[in-house]
Amino acid sequence: MSASNKIKVGIVGGTGYTGVELLRMLTLHPHAEVVMATSRKDAGTRLDAMFQSLRGRCDLVFSDTATADLTQCDVVFFATPHGVAMADAPKLLAKGVKVIDLAADFRYRDVAQFEKTYKMTHSCPELIAQSAYGLVELNRDAIKKANLIGNPGCYPTTMQIGFMPLLKAGIVDAAHLIADCKTGISGGGKKEELGFLYCEASDNVEAYGVSGHRHHGETVARLQEFTSEKVGLLFTPHLTPMIRGMFSSLYARLTKPTTNDELQALFEAAYHGEQFIDVMPFGSYPETRSTRGSNMLRLALHRPQDGDMVLVLVAQDNVMKGAAGAAVQCMNVMFGFDEAAGLSTLPLSP
């Protein structure tokens, strides 16, 4: 712990959207201080020259990823592409630095599945066993004890939070789950790609990745832990014209007679006391904008035409609860801070 009585935080890859979001939150954190942000391409550049929003609030200069001494940090966030964290994690962990990877390197327990999905060899598979999956509400105890976190993907968070109570209760057909998900454009990251241009992405809705989005395998593997039945998931991601926001419409067929009250009670019990999960009244309509800029995930249950299907509507801010917010929440749990430290800002409305 630093002289200032705050833990020292490093951010690798601070030039993307999750990087600047970590900075936005950590600047307000009572127990943590960002002391270093690194970049391969932008070393020497002030962070506020890249992000005008940081002017007056951040004096950091990007360090060179290759030479920066991250071992002086208490914890390092990797807001990088897949494959970066696993290269650096072993030596950081060996020096007692905790590591939180916002990419996929430590999301999978099954190395082979990771390697197949991301088409790269895992350089430190031995660390996977000691890593924890960073979805606090579903894995708090493991996170408390872990020094290495694989932060969940944005889509998987909504699908796990939404399907878990149903699967654990054993009341739905686990083999035929459907997740029709809609993301804001920031979900794709700060990439100069054609499809993310304003003139291509605005005033448009389209599906993508139906044949094999990388979050499919991550989600199925995690959902499988909630049930002994074989999980089958049809996952359709869509791009929608929002900066931030993710809305998942989850469909499951009930296999046992269940009343709406029982369904509602199931979810309220599952997330009782969770300050970042808002189980709304049965039949409500969560709105992505009501989560904008906050770490809150909202969900509501529906029973269309009083039939045998249950519909779970889930809304979150993909950059916050879907990425950087969840990572800070993990940090808080790992260090024994108030779980909401640095995460207290309310959603921006309108």
* Burial (CB count <10 Å: 0-12, 13-18, 19+), residue 292: buried
CB of 49 to a second copy, least distance (A): 10
In this complex, which beta carbon is closest to a second copy, that of residue 99 or of residue 296? 296
Sign of CA pseudo-dihedral 7, 26, 328, 102: negative
In this complex, which beta carbon is closest to a second copy, that of residue 196 or of residue 335? 196
C-alpha–C-alpha distance, residues 103 and 235, integer Å? 20
CB of 245 to a second copy, least distance (A): 6
Contacts of 126 (CB under 8 A, 6+ apart): none
In this complex, which beta carbon is closest to a second copy, that of residue 147 or of residue 294? 294
Structure tokens, 85: 């964290």
Q: What torsion do the CA atoms of 143, 144, 148, 154 make, to the nearest 10 degrees?
A: 30
**Among the options 58, 124, 154, 330, which is catalytic?**
154
CB of 221 to a second copy, least distance (A): 14
In this complex, which beta carbon is closest to a second copy, that of residue 50 or of residue 111? 50
CB of 142 to a second copy, least distance (A): 25
In this complex, which beta carbon is closest to a second copy, that of residue 87 or of residue 234? 234
Taking Cα atoms as reference points, which of 13, 193, 187, 221 lies closest to residue 116?
Answer: 221
In this complex, which beta carbon is closest to a second copy, that of residue 150 or of residue 162? 162
SS3 114: helix
Structure tokens, 228: 């002994």
Give CB contacts under 8 A, 24+ apart, made by 79-86: 79/11, 79/12, 79/13, 79/14, 79/16, 79/18, 79/19, 79/22, 79/324, 80/12, 80/13, 81/13, 82/118, 82/120, 83/118, 83/120, 84/12, 84/13, 85/12, 86/122, 86/123, 86/124, 86/127
* Burial (CB count <10 Å: 0-12, 13-18, 19+), residue 280: middle
C-alpha–C-alpha distance, residues 190 and 187, integer Å? 9
CB of 209 to a second copy, least distance (A): 9
C-alpha–C-alpha distance, residues 137 and 159, integer Å? 13
CB of 191 to a second copy, least distance (A): 8
- Phi, psi dihedrals of residue 314, rounded to the nearest 5°: -125, 130
Instruction: Tell me if residue 330 is catalytic.
Output: no
In this complex, which beta carbon is closest to a second copy, that of residue 130 or of residue 204? 204
Residues with catalytic annotation? Answer: 154
